[in-house]
Chain A
Amino acid sequence: MGSRGWARAAAVLRAFGRLDRRLVYLAALLCASAAVLWPPPLPVRPRPDTLAAYRLAQALRPGNAVFIWIDYGFGAQEELDPMLRAVLLQLMRRDAVICIASRSIEGGQIAETVMRRAAAGHPAYLEGYGVRWIDLGYRPAPDVALRAATVNLPAAYNGVDQAGLPLARFPLTARLRALTPEFFRLAYVFDLGDGYAAMMTYVSQVTGLPMIVGAISMEAPVIQPFVATGQIAATIPGIRGAAEYETLLGAPGPATALDRGSALVAVFILLLLALGNAGAAANPERQEG
């Protein structure tokens, strides 16, 4: 490229550096729309983390009980709802007994909604509340509630479920007396708490019951050391992990669509990073300002 070409390229980069941020937002909007409407048909290959989580649940026998602790609210639904849905689908296929509790106030409501949607093709679960699954809802001081649950699960939740119905009327309650390996085979924590608080609470309070953490992509690397030490049995990392889970189940769904869209978005972000830095470098007066 000649000197005129370089000068033109520098001028373009300078123009990009001075670009109205609203145009960048518009480009982001168009990119997201394209990602949603025409997600690239990229293959999803399960990684060891997700595979380990999947295999643990595959080892369940019909009637084995699983505890699911929800620690996210409406803000994290886009990423964790598809993950929860995929896990529930697998548990229902394994004919597991599912006990859901929540560490966040909205968690009980979220869990119930996702469970009822996931159970659409499983009439035994759709009509089997209190027999195949139960939602204990939220209790204040969740650390204390979890500690108490290791001694007496119904009492830890004041003897009522998410809707305030007495647990004594559900046949399931007699089987799930305490959060211990005697009554449960596996536990899940869907974590978006302040500094992965739910995972930390579970690790410090419940012993002997293997736990799988469903984490948002941002938290997944921080949780990894706990997998290395064996404090966590496995982890499902972010929307990518949820998509891998759907692939393993042979049921591509919302997570796969979001993950494929994210790939397009990742390219867009890389492009913005490159152009933004080049634009800033070509505008020394903006750097100083």
Chain B
Amino acid sequence: MPSPSAHPFATWTAAVCTLAVFSYLYRDNALWRAVEHLYIGLSAGYGLGYGWHNFLEPIIVTDMIHRHQYGYALPLLFGLLVFARYVRGGDGPARLPIGLWVGYGAGYALTYLPRTLWLQVSGSMLPPDRLSNVLVLATLVGGLCYFLFTVGQRGPIRRMATFGRYAIMLALGASFGGAVLYRYTIFLGRMAFLLKDWLHL
């Protein structure tokens, strides 16, 4: 979205950086590489600053040092074990915090996702009383047949799998079309910034 209240220096910086990125479309050049490195550096710096101010500083400085809540040291030390891989024989301990995180993820998925997705499965079992419902059912069965590898793709299964393949291609095509238009919307937004906010056309 254009930012009419932006400081002229910010507008000029953004415009020059945008043009520098666009210049890559012509050919690789030093200006593009400079902006690329600037962007990566800024992202890393932003992430580091954000991480310190929002996660580490409130816990280490505020809670542990000022409020003497030393219990936070335990998860902090446990998290630091990921760096143990840089020490000889430290691969085992390094896997512990990652294991905890993966275990948490799996537990979360098993607890909450089945309930959410089951409604999707039951919602797909529609009465075939309308063309749209028939299409949903046919696409569902066709898609399943296409990914059925344990039995031979012969007879009706093969025909359903073929239908499923075309249905999947149709869906992917629509999704790709949406992706192209979405990217173009971003491009339009940048052009609106350059032409209106920067050049005041």
Which residues of A are interface residues toward B (Cβ below 8 A)? Answer: 22, 25, 28-29, 32-33, 35-37, 75-79, 81-82, 85, 105, 114, 117, 138, 140, 143, 158, 200, 203-205, 216-222, 225-226, 228-229, 231, 238-239, 254, 257-258, 261-262, 265-266, 269
Q: Once the chains are docked, how many angstroms separate the CA of A85 from the CA of B26?
A: 35
A204 touches B188 (CB 8 A): no
Neighbouring A residues of B2 by C-beta, 8 Å: 254
Which partner residue on chain B sits nearest A138 by CB separation? Answer: B54
Which partner residue on chain A sits nearest B113 by CB separation? Answer: A204
B178 touches A229 (CB 8 A): no
A79 touches B119 (CB 8 A): no
Which partner residue on chain B sits nearest A158 by CB separation? Answer: B58
B188 touches A265 (CB 8 A): yes
Neighbouring B residues of A114 by C-beta, 8 Å: 1
Neighbouring A residues of B175 by C-beta, 8 Å: 218, 221-222
Neighbouring A residues of B196 by C-beta, 8 Å: 36
Neighbouring A residues of B137 by C-beta, 8 Å: none
Q: Once the chains are docked, how many angstroms separate the CA of A242 from the CA of B186?
A: 14
Tell me the B67-125 residues at the A interface (CB within 8 Å). 108, 112-113, 115-116, 119-120, 122-124
Please give the distance in Å from A110's CB to the nearest CB on chain B.
Answer: 10
A262 touches B123 (CB 8 A): no
Neighbouring A residues of B184 by C-beta, 8 Å: 32, 262, 265, 269
Q: Mark B143-186, 1 if CB is under 8 A from A, else 0.
A: 00000000000000000000000000001001100111110111
Chain A interface SS verdict (over half): helix
16 chain-A/chain-B pairs, Cβ below 8 angstroms: A32-B188, A32-B191, A35-B188, A77-B1, A79-B189, A114-B1, A200-B116, A217-B182, A221-B174, A229-B120, A229-B122, A229-B123, A238-B178, A239-B185, A258-B188, A265-B181
Q: Provided the pairs A25-B25, A158-B58, A204-B115 are in contact, do residues A78 and B191 lie with their beta carbons within 8 angstroms?
A: no
Residue B55 CB within 8 A of the other chain: yes
Q: Provided the pairs A85-B1, A204-B112 are in contact, do residues A78 and B178 lie with their beta carbons within 8 angstroms?
A: no
A36 touches B112 (CB 8 A): no
Task: For B189, give its contact among A218, A220, A258 (CB under 8 Å).
Answer: A258
Neighbouring B residues of A78 by C-beta, 8 Å: 1, 185-186, 188-190
Please give the distance in Å from A109's CB to the nearest CB on chain B.
Answer: 10
B116 touches A33 (CB 8 A): no
Q: How many residues of B contact A (CB 8 A)?
A: 40
Residue B10 CB within 8 A of the other chain: no
Tell me the B1-60 residues at the A interface (CB within 8 Å). 1-2, 22, 25-26, 47, 50, 54-55, 58
Please give the distance in Å from A270's CB to the nearest CB on chain B.
Answer: 10
Neighbouring B residues of A143 by C-beta, 8 Å: 108
Which partner residue on chain B sits nearest A237 by CB separation? Answer: B178
Which partner residue on chain B sits nearest A254 by CB separation? Answer: B1
**Shortest beta-carbon contacts, A-B, top 10:** A78-B189, A229-B123, A204-B112, A81-B1, A218-B178, A32-B191, A204-B116, A25-B25, A218-B182, A78-B186
Q: Once the chains are docked, how many angstroms separate the CA of A80 from the CA of B187?
A: 14
Task: For A217, give its contact among B26, B171, B181, B187 (CB under 8 Å).
Answer: B181
Please give the distance in Å from A77's CB to the nearest CB on chain B.
Answer: 6
Q: Provided the pairs A78-B1, A229-B119 are in contact, do residues A216 and B182 lie with their beta carbons within 8 angstroms?
A: yes
Neighbouring B residues of A229 by C-beta, 8 Å: 119-120, 122-123
Neighbouring B residues of A79 by C-beta, 8 Å: 182, 185-186, 189
Task: For B180, give its contact among A36, A221, A238, A269 (CB under 8 Å).
Answer: A269
Neighbouring A residues of B58 by C-beta, 8 Å: 158
Q: Once the chains are docked, how many angstroms separate the CA of A216 from the CA of B185?
A: 10
A238 touches B174 (CB 8 A): no
B120 touches A262 (CB 8 A): no
Which partner residue on chain A sits nearest B190 by CB separation? Answer: A78
Given contacts A36-B196, A200-B113, 18 further A-B contacts (CB under 8 A): A22-B26, A25-B25, A75-B186, A78-B1, A78-B189, A85-B1, A105-B50, A203-B116, A204-B112, A204-B113, A221-B174, A221-B178, A229-B119, A229-B123, A254-B192, A262-B181, A262-B184, A269-B184
